[in-house]
Structures are given as structure tokens and as C-alpha cells.
């Protein structure tokens, strides 16, 4: 029996995201990262710097999924409370980690003050996630990976995270681009294809009303069996052609 692919969730933490001051890009990066490893991203949440919200969301997500990735709230300021909340969620102390302490002491030297020392606090039982950009580490505890909110730092941390994950079968995706008609013109055909191939995913992503006046939709077929995906795309294209709708397979 084929083992089910792992599932994952993302927890984005920070008042600056909810206020609109900062635009989040980490979710997209993480979605692409886990998809490439055959891990199904099933859920994403964004919470502010409120301890109860963080701990409640974390406990819910880690119980429901194989992996949880958090971003944000592990810096040196008073509102960086993610480590505190993770420790509370797991019911463990939050001591200074000797390796984290050494990394930060080397990084900052004489400027290693009390605020920066906060970043050495790691929930008991946690292991460090390397940060090749600014050195201040993230950490893993159980199935939870706690990373920085700054996109380039978070992305760099994924290099150390990847080897720790159980991978699954990669999802294959093909796209048919339909132009000149809206979604309503192809909805019935697309629905019939989805009903006939329930093991695959069929999606419609419209575009149009641009300066060139072009309208249309991208029809995306996804699945873990590449042969089935290819066959479904051919069948869908043929069905559209029979209705007088042309579709172009995208590279």
C-alpha cells in the first residue's frame, strides 16, 4: 500500500502582516518549497502578536498535520514572542541554548547585548535551524519548524530544514490556456472532466480585462500520476474543441 504523502500547515505571525504594513511573501515560498518535496500544504493561518492566538493556532495545526512551519517573531525586540509561545504550547521551559548562545556571541562580539541574547532562548528539546544570512538560528521542536519572518532569511533557513522532512510523491501539473471566452463557457466541460477523473484536481484561473482586452482562463490539471495527468489534459482539450473552444497547452 502506498504511504500517504505528508501534510503541512503554515503559521504566519506578526501584527505587521495583519495591519498591511508588510506584505507577506513567505507563504508562497513555503508552498512552492513543500510542493516540490511532495508534501501537501493543507492550511495557512496568519495571527498577530497575541500569545493566546499563537499557542492556540500552533496546537491546532501541529495536531492536524505532519509539519507546521512558522515565520516571524524570533528577533530581539519585546514583541518577538514566538519562542515563548512555542514553549508554552509544548509545555516546556525556554532556556538559553548553549550552541545558539555561542553562535550569537561570535556574531555580535562586544555588541552582544541583552536584547540580542533573547534570540538564544530555545524551547527545551528543540534543535537549531541554521541561518546563513544573519546567524541567529531558528529551531525545530517536534513537527514544528520556527523560522524568521524576513523573507530572505526564512528562505535561506529552508536549506537546513529540507533534509529533515519526509517527502512524498511529487504533484504533476499541466495547464491549458483558453482565450476568447470566459469561465462560464467552459464550466460544464471542466466539471465533466473533474467528475470523470476524481483522483485528479481540475482548476480554472481566469484572466482578462487587461489593456489588450483579452479574456480567458487557465485550466490546470494536477495529480501524482503523470500519465493520468497527460491523458486528462488531452481529453479535456478534445472536449473543449468539440464545443468550438480552442485551448493551448502551456510549456
CA angle (224, 241, 206) in 5-degree steps: 65
User: In this predicted structure, what is the pLDDT of residue 4?
Assistant: 83
Tell me the pairing of strands 7-13 and 144-147.
unpaired
- What are the angstrom distances between the C-alpha of 163 and each of 78, 89, 194, 202? 32, 25, 35, 31
Q: How far is CA 24 from the centre of its chain?
A: 11
CA distances from 246 to 107, 144, 149, 225 (A): 59, 46, 44, 25
Kindly write down the DSSP assignment for every residue of 64-103, as one continuous string: HSSEEEEES--SSSTT--HHHHHHHHHT---PBPHHHHHH
The pTM of this model reads 0.86
- Half-sphere exposure of residue 209, counting CA atoms within 13 Å on the CB side? 3
pLDDT greater than 70 at residue 209: no
User: Which of the four pLDDT bands, split at 50, 70 and 90, describes residue 1?
Assistant: very low
> How is the chain split into domains, by residue range?
7-164, 172-249
CA 162-163-168 angle, 5° bins: 75
Q: What value does the mean pLDDT take over residues 127-156? A: 98
The CA-atom distances, in angstroms, between 85 and each of 56, 61, 93, 221 are 9, 14, 11, 40
Superfamily, domain 172-249: ACT domain (3.30.70.260)
Predicted local confidence at residue 251, as pLDDT: 87
Mean pLDDT of the chain: 95
Confidence tier at 81 by pLDDT (50, 70, 90): very high
pLDDT for residue 25: 97
Task: List helix spans (H) across 8-79.
Answer: 15-18, 26-36, 51-64
Residue 3: the pLDDT is 65
* 12 vs 1, more confident: 12
Answer CATH for 7-164 from 3.10.180.10, 3.40.50.300, 3.90.1010.10, 3.40.980.10 = 3.40.980.10
* Residue 211 pLDDT class (50, 70, 90 cuts): low
Q: Are 99 and 128 in contact (CB under 8 A)?
A: yes
- pLDDT confidence tier of residue 11, bands split at 50, 70 and 90: very high
38 in Cβ contact with 170 (< 8 Å)? yes
Amino acid at each position: 500500500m502506498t504511504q500517504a504523502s505528508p501534510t503541512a500547515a503554515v503559521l504566519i505571525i506578526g501584527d505587521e502582516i495583519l495591519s498591511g504594513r508588510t506584505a507577506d511573501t513567505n507563504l508562497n515560498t513555503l508552498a512552492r518549497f513543500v510542493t516540490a518535496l511532495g508534501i501537501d500544504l493543507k492550511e495557512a493561518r496568519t495571527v498577530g502578536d497575541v500569545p493566546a492566538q499563537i499557542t492556540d493556532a500552533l496546537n491546532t495545526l501541529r495536531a492536524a498535520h505532519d509539519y507546521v512551519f512558522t515565520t516571524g517573531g524570533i528577533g530581539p525586540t519585546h514583541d518577538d514572542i514566538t519562542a515563548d509561545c512555542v514553549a508554552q504550547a509544548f509545555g516546556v521551559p525556554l532556556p538559553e541554548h548553549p550552541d545558539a548562545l555561542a553562535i550569537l556571541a561570535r556574531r555580535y562580539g562586544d555588541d552582544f547585548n541583552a536584547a540580542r541574547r533573547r534570540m538564544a532562548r530555545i524551547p527545551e528539546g528543540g534543535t537549531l535551524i541554521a541561518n546563513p544570512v544573519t546567524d541567529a538560528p531558528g529551531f525545530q521542536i517536534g513537527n514544528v519548524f520556527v523560522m524568521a519572518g524576513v523573507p530572505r532569511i526564512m528562505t535561506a533557513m529552508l536549506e537546513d530544514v529540507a533534509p529533515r522532512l519526509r517527502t512524498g510523491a511529487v504533484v504533476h501539473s499541466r495547464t491549458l490556456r483558453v482565450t476568447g471566452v470566459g469561465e462560464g463557457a467552459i464550466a460544464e466541460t471542466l466539471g465533466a472532466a473533474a467528475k470523470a477523473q476524481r483522483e485528479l484536481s481540475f482548476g480554472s484561473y481566469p484572466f482578462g480585462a487587461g489593456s489588450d482586452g483579452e479574456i480567458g482562463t487557465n485550466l490546470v490539471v494536477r495529480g501524482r500520476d503523470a500519465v493520468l495527468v497527460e491523458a486528462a489534459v488531452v481529453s479535456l482539450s478534445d472536449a473543449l474543441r468539440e464545443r468550438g473552444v480552442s485551448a493551448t497547452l502551456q510549456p
